Chains A and B, each alone.
Chain A
């Protein structure tokens, strides 16, 4: 029994490392890619997948493989910014809400309900349009709309901690709420928080791709999976399948990997599932 658990943990850890490695490679590869690699080349218009162009080329002769990598890399940047921002907001709001209670708690709970009450996609489109679309609009809209669920989780955790003995003891000893929050609560909230952070990623990326696909996000000249997929719609009917299939699969893989990493971390760190 013991041996099996150990093996499984090692296997899972290796898997997580590989997945992270894959994502980091895509991220860095896209970040430092020479724009000429996905530039226009009219000599090779609409070439199917082949050795030179693994994912084929589009109507302007742009190499779809490099465009995909660059696009995913862009998505990862947006996902990263959005997740970090959302999670910091969630952490502050969650702890503040639970520790301070009273009016603060009410206001934050109201804000959470307000954000969750609106259909997410509509909220994204509204914010993105308001900020003039483009990468600015989309980053803000994704960042500003992903904090509520995580806030709830953090608040719940902190509420539980607040009634524990050592927190009460610290309070009696005259420690300030801020010190209590940082020294006694934060360490306990961190695991749930990190898992939440990782699990935000796939949502952020999917949402970025979705609203870009719908035309409210990144504009045509930016390599992005949403742009690539919406462009490919014009070509699918004439049998240029590679324009949609490969980028779609690449997006799917990234999203699933993040989701798996998050779910696996949850299993590893959650003490209750440790004995499974």
Chain B
């Protein structure tokens, strides 16, 4: 009996200590001499989760650090030169010509030429299945005109092509190997991979062949660990940068300070706009669609204007993040039609006019016997989305709308994506996300795409105009029109433009003035200006 009891006690204690038992044993302090500067950083796990090969879509959200694209985004979300000196788009928008820099070398010492660009694009086009990020279906041909000029020809106008050239990074044509590049890519960036330990650490060192100014920090060690372990390591002084969720932002760490960085990442909740029923997709498969409560525009509209986003942010994220009613203003194509929220009285009136009245006095409105109640799925292992949905549910209570929050796996959430509201995260430079969210062509055809089931011919037409626009200005205008049409129906309830928070050692300057607004990346985008960082 004693034995058994002891076993049970031990088992319980083990349960208690599993999470905190994992101590980082891989923080290596190599070559700690005076002139050799090395830092250890924890920036989430995105870099470890994917192959580092640009051909397979690595770091294609605008913050690569090993390989470089032709053009890059600057802090104002405008495109500037990178491997290309300048570029030109023909009047019919079918030909893109890039003039390349002639002083660039890869980290293996070979020269960067137009041939490498051609090779990279042809590789991606041939292996499009491996890379969903750089969509080259409209690329007809890519040819080298001399060593330092590349000409792209498209088969039809496709304005997001320029975004692709900013995402797809160039690999050397001679040295490229699909297997070794998964862990040891050769690039033109300021850093190169010196050591790759799968799921433990990636050590990058300065690329001696880099054309620009030599970075101040010789070596950067990316460490993979759990968030709570990373935090404890930061407290004990072993990490120089640690990404933290809003859970930790009110803590104090000696010798470190908290930096909140701007992102273009928004969290919204999809609100299915269709009546409950079944519909067939293009392959003839039947899907359940619609939601009996959110299909009423009054409910969607009331939520959008009636909730208090700042209060939700304070409650869920300790105040981290900014209220958002559409995509962020730091994107040139995003709608700027902001509106005031927290108009509870107006929202209640809207609901009452639509027939949602609380008749039985339980605080929840009804209409024809149907309660104004629905479920929201906070998918995946993301504590923040769960907290956000819970705070929203609390806030919506005041309006007489009952929201219950359910945490479920992504697989389960996708199964119900057309019927149950889900908390989503979006944030990228390319406006193609709008097409994905609003286009009637995407409904039922792809997971994550147009889950609200909102379809409008006007919106589709505006987006087609945007895609085929011959200039950025024209495209941005059309994208904004599409958003204006769609947002008027409130198929998505935008809540917050999140911020990324980091504890950074006081002697490390991460140069906030050259940080681009962070795309979606769970904390990783802080490395977008790694080469500018200075260790004092």
Interface residues, chain A, CB within 8 Å of chain B?
A: 40, 42, 59-60, 132-133, 202, 206, 209-210, 213, 215, 219-221, 226, 229-231, 233-238, 244-245, 248, 251-252, 255-256, 259-260, 263
Contact = CB atoms under 8 A, between A and B. Distances in A.
A126 to B, nearest CB: 15
Q: Which of A220, A248, A255 lies at the interface centre, i.e. has the most chain B CB atoms within 10 A of its CB?
A: A220
A252 B9 contact: yes
A209 B20 CA distance: 17
B165 interface: no
Given A42-B315, A219-B407, A230-B19, A202 B8 contact: yes
Given A256-B5, A259-B5, A40 B412 contact: no
Contacts of B19: 230, 233, 236
Nearest to B1: A263
27 contacts: A42-B314, A42-B315, A59-B247, A60-B387, A202-B8, A215-B381, A219-B408, A220-B386, A220-B407, A221-B386, A221-B407, A229-B15, A230-B19, A231-B383, A233-B228, A234-B228, A234-B245, A235-B247, A237-B235, A238-B247, A245-B16, A248-B15, A251-B12, A255-B12, A256-B9, A259-B1, A259-B5
Interface in B402-446: 404-409, 412
B1 A234 contact: no
A132 B18 CA distance: 25
B279 interface: no
Contacts of B494: none
Interface string B363-383: 000000000000000100101
Nearest to B404: A221
Interface in B1-50: 1, 4-5, 8-9, 11-13, 15-16, 18-20
A199 B157 CA distance: 72
Contacts, number: 87
A237 B378 CA distance: 25
B8 A259 contact: yes
Interface residues of B, number: 41
Contact of A42 (B8, B245, B386, B394): B394
Contact of B247 (A202, A230, A234, A245): A234
Q: Which of B8, B15, B18, B227 lies at the interface centre, i.e. has the most chain A CB atoms within 10 A of its CB?
A: B15
A210 B10 CA distance: 13
B248 interface: yes
Contact of A237 (B228, B315, B406): B228
Contacts of A221: 386, 404-407
Contacts of A237: 20, 228-229, 231-232, 235
A244 to B, nearest CB: 6
A133 B405 contact: no
B5 A238 contact: no
A59 B15 contact: no
Contacts of A210: 11, 15
B364 to A, nearest CB: 14
Contact of A206 (B12, B248, B386, B391): B12
Given A221-B406, A233-B228, A234-B227, A248 B16 contact: yes
Contacts of B391: 40, 42
Given A233-B228, A248-B15, A256-B8, A133 B409 contact: yes
Contacts of B245: 234
B251 interface: yes
Contacts of A233: 18-20, 228
A259 B4 contact: yes
A110 to B, nearest CB: 27
A116 B314 CA distance: 50
Q: When A and B form their complex, which 3 residue pairs have the shortest distance between CB atoms, in order from nearest?
A: A233-B19, A220-B407, A42-B315
A21 B8 CA distance: 22
A263 B412 CA distance: 42
Contacts of A259: 1, 4-5, 8
B394 A132 contact: no
A76 to B, nearest CB: 16
A59 B228 CA distance: 15
Nearest to A264: B1
B263 interface: no
Q: Which of A221, A248, A256 lies at the interface centre, i.e. has the most chain B CB atoms within 10 A of its CB?
A: A221
B232 A234 contact: no
Contacts of A133: 409
Contacts of B386: 220-221
Given A202-B8, A221-B407, A60 B390 contact: yes
Contacts of A263: 1, 4
Given A220-B378, A221-B407, 15 more contacts: A42-B314, A59-B247, A60-B390, A133-B409, A202-B8, A206-B11, A219-B407, A221-B404, A237-B20, A237-B232, A238-B251, A248-B12, A255-B8, A259-B5, A259-B8
Contacts of B229: 237
Contacts of A40: 390-391, 393-394
A200 to B, nearest CB: 13
Nearest to B411: A132
B412 A132 contact: yes
Contacts of B20: 233, 236-237
A163 to B, nearest CB: 30
Nearest to B394: A40
Contacts of A245: 16
B315 to A, nearest CB: 4
Nearest to B251: A238
B15 A209 contact: yes
Nearest to A214: B18
Contacts of A234: 227-228, 245, 247, 383
B377 to A, nearest CB: 10
A261 to B, nearest CB: 12
Nearest to A203: B8
A43 to B, nearest CB: 10
Contacts of A202: 8
A127 to B, nearest CB: 16
Nearest to A240: B247
A237 B232 CA distance: 6
A118 to B, nearest CB: 18
Q: Which of B16, B315, B404, B407 lies at the interface centre, i.e. has the most chain A CB atoms within 10 A of its CB?
A: B16
Contacts of B9: 252, 256
A233 to B, nearest CB: 3
A260 B8 CA distance: 11
Nearest to B248: A238
A155 B20 CA distance: 43
Interface in B223-252: 227-229, 231-232, 235, 245, 247-248, 251
A236 B315 CA distance: 20
Q: Which of B4, B12, B412 lies at the interface centre, i.e. has the most chain A CB atoms within 10 A of its CB?
A: B12
